[in-house]
Amino acid sequence: MTGLREGFVAGLPKAELHVHHVGSASPRIVSELAARHPGTVPSDLEELRRFFEFRDFGHFVEVYLAVVDLVKTPEDIRYLTYEVARELAEAQSVRYAELTCTPYTSVLPHEPERGMPIEAYTEAIEDARVAAERDFGLVLRWIYDIPGEFGLPAAEETVRFAVDHGPAALVGFGLGGPEVGVDRPQFKPHFDAARAAGLHSVPHAGETTGPETVWSALRDLGAERIGHGTSAAQDPALLAHLATEGIPLEVCPSSNVATRAVPSLAEHPLPAFVAAGVVVTINSDDPPMFGTTLNQEYGVAADLLGLDEAGVADLARTAVRSSWAPDDVRRRILDEIDTYSGG
């Protein structure tokens, strides 16, 4: 890292805006879930590391869904959520996180004999959220996302879960999964309904497809932040639009390399985003699956951008300001960053 004291990033108070619920399950958590539900996912930690070695984005989705299948009961949901919160707070100094949840793959409305009621799902994440704030001082909010690989039926159910069953801590509505062959415009009615219910729009776009997917997310889905947006660097007009409108990109460098969205960290477009005046936040996406942490992603960003401690602290402030945290939580974390960094 450029000009950073050892331990500076680890202790820096941070907000995490692009991190997936199931995708945050560390080997420790996955091992516990695999032991509860023996099957295709190994419970041995060394075997799990090999299991998480991705060949490409398609293979990542396969592995991700295999881990999703381990979360079978409300007790599993509660355990996963609470332990993810523990690791965010204790190991990453995260004070606030917007955790992207995919209730469709746990409720399984198309396979009710395998799924759980949405009411039980909601109760489990909310119980864990309240306990995490009490025990770790971590404020959690939820984003419900459509798993794009399941198409319109998943979109219809996810917006129903959000609008009819969403907890008060639900702040956003997203779209994840594969982009190729999953056009953004088909989900416009679902995002319209979610936005009408007061939820913010935060779809993934431009990760494994071109800039037009980002334009579509802005035009058709009313995106207020963009998940990844990697290919936006290919379109100067898009970069100018993002900068002018102040629409943040949720940048996840190591994820982009692991899924082959970019060839290497050295070729990551983060510097181009910053040079164009685009608001960027640094995030970890599915950190254990990509062998990273939010602390490591801040280190990567510091290297790519040539940042000193003041610059890294500014990245942390940008994430807080780009969040949908309550105003008092924002002020508190910003004050903590100032105190910690001397700024």
Sorted by where each begins, the domain ranges of the chain are 8-336
Tokens for 188, please give them. Answer: 């416009």
207 is catalytic: yes
- Token pair 């050892």 is at which residue? 6
Contact 23, 285 (CB under 8 A): yes
Q: Which sign does the torsion angle of CA 212, 217, 219, 220 carry? A: positive
The class (CATH top level) of 8-336 is alpha beta
Q: What is the pLDDT of residue 169?
A: 98
Q: Which residues contact 109 (CB under 8 A, 6 or more apart)?
A: 115, 153, 157
Q: What is the pLDDT of residue 1?
A: 47
Q: What is the pLDDT of residue 2?
A: 53
Residue 158: how many CA atoms within 13 Å on its side-chain side?
32
Q: Out of 16, 98, 157, 207, which one is annotated catalytic?
A: 207
Contact 236, 224 (CB under 8 A): no
**Residue 31 and residue 45: Cα distance in Å, rounded?**
7
Query: 23 pLDDT exceeds 60?
Result: yes
pTM exceeds cut of 0.85: yes
- Three-state DSSP at 56 gives coil
Radius of gyration of the chain (CA): 19
Tokens for 134, please give them. Answer: 């009490």
- Percentage with pLDDT > 90 across the chain: 80
pLDDT tens-digit profile of 97-114?
Answer: 999 999 999 998 888 888
Ordered DSSP codes for 174-192: EEES--TT--SGGGHHHHH
Would you give the distance in Å from CA 154 to the centre of its chain?
Answer: 19
> If pLDDT is split at 50, 70 and 90, which confidence band does 264 have?
very high
Q: Specify the DSSP class assigned to residue 140.
A: E
Query: 88 pLDDT exceeds 80?
Result: yes
Which candidate, 81, 72, 1, places its Cα nearest to that of 37?
72
pLDDT tens-digit profile of 214-236?
Answer: 999 999 999 999 999 999 999 99
Contact 105, 153 (CB under 8 A): no
The larger pLDDT score, comparing residue 76 to residue 35, is at 76
**Residue 9 and residue 91: Cα distance in Å, rounded?**
11
- Three-state DSSP at 3 gives coil
Q: What is the pLDDT of residue 268?
A: 98
Tokens for 197, please give them. Answer: 């219910």
Which candidate, 231, 252, 250, 232, places its Cα nearest to that of 241?
232
Q: Mean of the per-residue pLDDT values for the chain?
A: 94
Q: Specify the DSSP class assigned to residue 232.
A: G
Q: What is the pLDDT of residue 263?
A: 95
